[in-house]
Structure 1
């Protein structure tokens, strides 16, 4: 069935055309090409309008010394369109959006998990606490965001390799890994990780020896998992920060190993 494009919304007397002409400084003479159109056409035309404004502005470089704004992507325009409408309708608080962005940019994400792993590699006492009570040990770093209140850390070893999946949806330890990647949420990964874990990790470039036991853990809303990868050989003289820079998100899910 063909997608139906709805007319541009009007919010308090302003259409998306008005919003974007203002937001991206689109010249008034270019506004006409954006009027009386649907969202899909608008997004395409808006990009062209902004690009045209930049091209025209490049010829005026001698008159001013500020940088021109980059042409926003189609995805960016879609997000900004939705954000502008929701804010103007009073359905979303801009301050709340800023807080969410700040959280996912600076307070949660795989860099957090990498720091936890590196600390466990260099501090045996911390590692013991981490394996015994992951949430409490991780809280020592100040990582206390939602979706990580109940977590277990799984240690990889020479003869044991752990792999995490969520067979029902996409349950994931946000405080230490951020938001789940697209492939983690996909039906093929969620089903095949349980049936053929060796084949799945092989597709990620990880070949496990036959004598290595593979353990698959099903993450749920009640309990999430973080893999503690093996420390790579030849890193004895590296600092904790240097070690953290080696740790990847995929290694903490179990589809990869950490490489020196």
Structure 2
């Protein structure tokens, strides 16, 4: 088949969904309904400005400030809004904390509900049918696929994100980070650790 041959010109074509998106963008641009520069700005904003750095700031502050963490766990929506992280896909937030006893993981079993203001654009795997189905049935196996192995005594709790509620996981703070300030701690906090499919980076 042409797509199996790396030398065939069609092998360079993107996947069908990518083609459809590009075709739609082209049509809308030609009709003057979409400005490509504006689209690029929106994508850049979500990837680099409204991306996981916002969530990392929230987590790092929670690690440093017990009163802030308590308020976050009590009413995450209000706390993150006070920091300026609110809007579409971030209206109703709940923060859940990882401990030695419980590890939290987030999935959206129906579609791909995700806290954009805190974590940016959801990764492709988060939207996949495989992740959405397996995260509920076999969360430890999914975590293992991400390179996360937890002690047997640590329970895994899976939270189903919806249009009404979205979740932010507070990963456990790595040992040996007591001397670090907020900016340094932020570099240890990954997007996956705030979904629960990863752990904070050990310095």
Please, what is the CA RMSD of the aligned residues? 2.7
Q: Does 1:169 align with 2:99?
A: no
Aligned to 1:223: 165
Alpha-carbon distance change, 88 to 241 in structure 1, aligned in 2, over 3 angstroms: same
Q: Which residue of 2 aligns with 1:209?
A: 151
Aligned to 1:30: none
5+ unaligned residues in a row in structure 1: which ranges? 4-40, 45-72
1:143 corresponding residue in structure 2: 85
Corresponding residue for residue 122 of structure 1? 64
Label 1:164 to 1:91 Cα distance change in 2 as closer, same or farther (>3 A): same
Partner Cα separation in structure 2 for residue 85 and residue 148 of structure 1:
31
- Structure 1 SS opposite 2:172: coil
* SS at 1:206 equivalent: coil
Aligned residue for 1:236, secondary structure, equals: coil
C-alpha contact 1:107 1:175 (8 A) present in aligned 2: no
Match of 1:185 among 127, 135, 140: 127
CA contact (8 A) 1:193 1:216 kept: yes
Q: Deviations over 1:124-175 (max 9, x none)?
A: 1111111111121112321123101101000000111001111111111101
TM value normalised by structure 2? 0.84
Post-superposition shift, 1:209? 1.1
**Which fold has the larger relative contact order, with Cα–Cα distance below 8 Å and residues 6 or more apart in sequence?**
2
Residue 94 of structure 1 deviates from its aligned partner by 4.7
Give the superposition deviation at 1:114: 0.6
Partner deviation per Cα, 1:59-117 (whole Å, 9 max, x = no partner): xxxxxxxxxxxxxx979xx7887645532311214564255234314431111111110
Does structure 2 conserve the Cα–Cα contact (< 8 Å) formed by 1:129 and 1:137?
Answer: yes
Unaligned runs of 5+ in 2: 4-8
SS at the partner of 1:114? Answer: helix
Of 109, 132, 144 in structure 1, the residue corresponding to residue 74 of structure 2 is 132
Please give the alpha-carbon distance, in whole angstroms, between the structure 1 residues aligned to 2:134 and 2:120: 23
Give TM-score scaled by structure 1 length: 0.67
SS at match of 1:210: coil
User: Following the alignment from structure 2 to structure 1, what is the Cα–Cα distance between the partners of residues 153 and 14?
Assistant: 49
Deviation at 1:203, TM superposition (A): 1.2
User: Where does residue 6 of structure 2 map in the other structure?
Assistant: none
Which of these two proteins has the greater Rg computed from alpha carbons? 1
